[in-house]
Structure 1
Amino acid sequence: MKTGWQTKTLGEICDIERGGSPRPIQNFITADTNGINWIKIGDATASGKYIYKTEEKIKSEGAKRSRMVYEGDFILSNSMSFGRPYIMRTTGCIHDGWLVLHQPKVDPDYLYYILSSDLVFDQFDRLASGSTVRNLNIGLAKSVEIPYPPLPEQQRIVGILDAAFDGIAVARANAEQNLQNARALFESHLQSVFTQAPLSGVEGRGAGWVEKKLSDVCAITSTLVDPRKDEFLDLTHVGAGNIESLTGVFVELKTAREEGLISGKFLFDESMVLYSKIRPYLMKVARPHFNGLCSADMYPLAPLPNEITRDYLFYLLLSKPFTDYAIQGSARAGMPKVNREHLFEFRMLLPDVKKQAELAAQLDALHEETQRLESLYQRKLTALGELKKSLLHQAFSGAL
């Protein structure tokens, strides 16, 4: 540690108290604009520093059973977003999922940065690890140690971190916007293929486009099998949760044996397209590159030869016209689901298979480029997060 710096506990530099919850809370929530702000974790943002307002208010009787906090107070989540600090920019009451740090004997921004660092979080994590429910109590929070330089040094560190973090915030915003733009470009082109092409066919500009139903171009040829049988035990199983929305990327795949499957599953092969009939707005469609089993909540669709290519069918099922149609026919209590009859009644204008292959190849190329850009921007975002951690580590080890 740097010469002239001390080590102090949070209990030495501020008063720490726990929030309180009037119960049952629903009896104290009020729509009265004169009610007292009721501060919940949802009123904060993951990347935000301050809490400015609340969505709910409580009656004054509820405030008597809670804990008031004031502008400038620090509040610390002791359960959900564990150890995350926020600075109050309003007054209100906190429930017992918060700790409040009053009257810190330290620069407020310095305290915010140190509480946001791994140096403090690692202590929180270690101290709370022995409890059945991982949360912070007052005693644990008070015992956390922080580096305590003289006030001018605290302010110097804050100035450096403020400038650096402002630059990082701009770079992060740019990377996030670029990430959104890359995704939007692919989605825009995907939708243009299936919204503009049919129109051009109607107007006579799309020679060779023919109106067909989905049942004319693909079918479900698989039957349900028992995944407990020896011949199926080591086949890969695909459920809706194993497919990323829109991209069709497979995640966290396991075999029937590993999952301990007992209910009937569909066999599929790599000539098929898998479509999740549950919650069609999630757009979970995939082109398997292996043979396996899929959930009974998925349709293994086999393209009919010379009618539709597998790749074109894949993108058709991701298109807005089809998704809107599927959503309209899936309304049911509890779980939106597309039934077979509705699925196969979908009508579209379809080009010949040569044109299908051409359009699908264009979409594949754009999708590949989008994935490359997404990977690039995700790496940038990760690097920026690591840079913040590195700067905080340097700051509180005296290296800045």
Structure 2
Amino acid sequence: MKAGWQTKAIGEVCEVVNGGTPKTGIKEYWGGAHQWITPAEMGKRNSPYICETERTVTDAGLQNSSARMLPPYSVILSSRAPIGHLVINTEPMATNQGCKGLVPSDQLHYKFLYYYLSSIVDLLNDLGSGATFKELSGGKLKEVGISFPSLPEQQRIVRILDEAFDGIATAKANAEQNLQNARALFESHLQSVFTQRGEGWVEKSVGELVDEGVLVKPFDGNHGEIHPTRADYTESGVPFIMASDLVNGGVDTDRCKFISRKLADSLRVGFAKDGDVLISHKGTIGRSAIVSTADDYIMLTPQVTAYRIKDHSKLLNRFVRYYFMSSEFQQQIIDGAADGSTRAYIGITKQLNLHFKFPSLGEQQKIVEKLDELVPETQRLESLYQRKLAALAELKRSLLHQAFSGAL
């Protein structure tokens, strides 16, 4: 550490203030003149500063709860659900019990404290405890050490970080917009295929295509008592495919769960084979992929449906997969899953009522070739901008490390 810096516990140089929530059922406690913030609201913000909150409390609300007003330019830290959101209030403000307010002494610049806490979010999470969710206690927070130089030096460091972070924020916004544009380019081509259809397209339900022998009846994994559980997972074996394993149009058989060949062979259904088109139908609905495997089969969970083409003179599997991606089909499965349950689900019976729209096989091939040409370029651009975003995040971490090791 550079000369002139000192290290103290946060509790020695800040007042740490707990929050509280007035009883929500008492109208007289809410809608008053006092700003009141929660971790959820903090997580929605892009700016470090906040002057107005979504909810406010009255004098009576403050008097009848443990909430306390923080003076302007305190640093507010979410201490649970999750630990680590940070804001600086520019007006007097109270918090709920999921926050800690840090009121810096005259030894600390509020923005220096804000940046310091930003740099140790991982440490603060490590200090949290709790079975249901982790919470950082006021006592633990007060014990955390903070190294700091004189106020003029703190102000100099803050100016450097402000300028650098403004530049990083601009670069990040540009990269995010470019990433969005790259995805939108492919998306616009995809949607135009299925909204600007020419003559000769046919519309049939999945059930009709099954009855006509174009598709095998869609199937998913094993339900009930024979469904493999966590205790059945093995280090290797037969891939056991969940919705989360459908990635970028393929099936991630490297990071998925596995079950033994013996168990898989004993199961009744769920055997997906090379060329099958998969779609997730439970929880995260609408992800799609094409199976590409040299094995006899991979095993599906009840989260994933397989569509197998029986008459290859009528449908191409790559066309089906692109159709699954279209907003038209996605809306069908969203509507089909909207039954009021807490978790989205569209079972096999409902899927038989979904409609396919498709042209001749030759036209399907042309559509697939056109979209296939766009995929590599879209993926290249996505990868480029995602790498830029990762580099910007690393630059922020590096600058914070330099700042608080006295290297700026």
The normalised TM-score by structure 2 is 0.82
Match of 2:41 in 1: 43
- Structure 1 residue 122: deviation in Å? 5.2
Distance between the aligned counterparts of 1:149 and 1:354, measured in 2? Answer: 72
Task: Give deviations 1:36-74, integer Å, cap 9, x for gaps.
Answer: 433111221364312332222344333122222232222
* Cα distance in structure 1, aligned partners of 2:189 and 2:283: 24
- Measured in 2, the distance between the counterparts of 1:212 and 1:329 equals 16
Give the conservation status (yes or no) of the 8 Å contact 2:35–2:53: yes
Question: CA separation in 2, counterparts of 1:223 and 1:378?
Answer: 34
Question: 1:68–1:91: 8 Å Cα contact kept in structure 2?
Answer: yes
Deviation of the 1:312 alpha carbon: 0.4
SS in 1 for 2:182: helix
Residue 325 (structure 2) pairs with residue 324 (structure 1): no
Please tell me whether residue 392 in structure 1 is matched to residue 400 in structure 2. yes
| TM-score calculated relative to the size of structure 1 | 0.84
Determine the structure 1 residue equivalent to 2:274: 270
Q: Do the aligned residues in 1 keep the contact of 2:221 with 2:304 (CA within 8 Å)?
A: no
Determine whether 1:364 maps to 2:400.
no
Shift of the 292–30 alpha-carbon distance from structure 1 to 2, 3 Å rule, reads farther
Aligned residues of 2:48 and 2:86 also touching (Cα < 8 A): yes
Residue type at the aligned position of 1:254: K
Alignment match, 1:179: 179
2:245 and 2:354 mapped to 1: Cα distance? Answer: 26
Q: Does 1:236 align with 2:233?
A: no
Please give the per-residue CA displacement for 1:284-339, whole angstroms capped at 9, x wherever unaligned.
11111122111234321111220101100111122122222333333323054435
- Measured in 2, the distance between the counterparts of 1:162 and 1:365 equals 43
1:81-106 superposed Cα distances (whole Å, 9 cap, x missing partner): 31443211333322222211224322
Q: Would you say the 8 A contact 2:251–2:291 is kept in 1?
A: no
- Quick one: distance in 2 between partners of 1:391 and 1:224? 49
Q: Look up the equivalent residue of 2:317 and give its one-letter code.
A: R
Name 2:76's counterpart in structure 1.
75
What is the letter of the counterpart of residue 114 of structure 2? Y
SS at match of 2:69: strand
Which of 270, 288, 291 lines up with 1:288 in the alignment?
A: 291
Counterpart in 1 of 2:118?
116
Count of aligned pairs: 382
Structure 2: runs of 5 or more not aligned: none
State the secondary structure of the residue aligned to 1:116.
helix
Shift of residue 13 of structure 1?
Answer: 1.9
Structure 2 CA distance for partners of 1:298 and 1:249, relative to 1, 3 Å? closer
Give 1:349 deviation, angstroms. Answer: 4.5
Output the CA distance in 2 between the equivalents of 1:266 and 1:157: 60
How far 1:283 sits from its partner (Å)? 1.8
Runs of 5+ unmatched residues, structure 1: 202-207
CA RMSD across the alignment: 3.2
| More displaced 10-residue stretch of structure 1: 384-393 or 98-107 | 98-107
How high is the sequence identity, in percent, across the aligned residues?
36
Q: How far apart, CA to CA, are the structure 2 residues paired with 1:131 and 1:350?
A: 54
- Looking at structure 1, the residues matched to 176 and 109 of structure 2 have their Cα atoms a distance apart, in angstroms, of 32
**SS at 2:313 equivalent:** coil
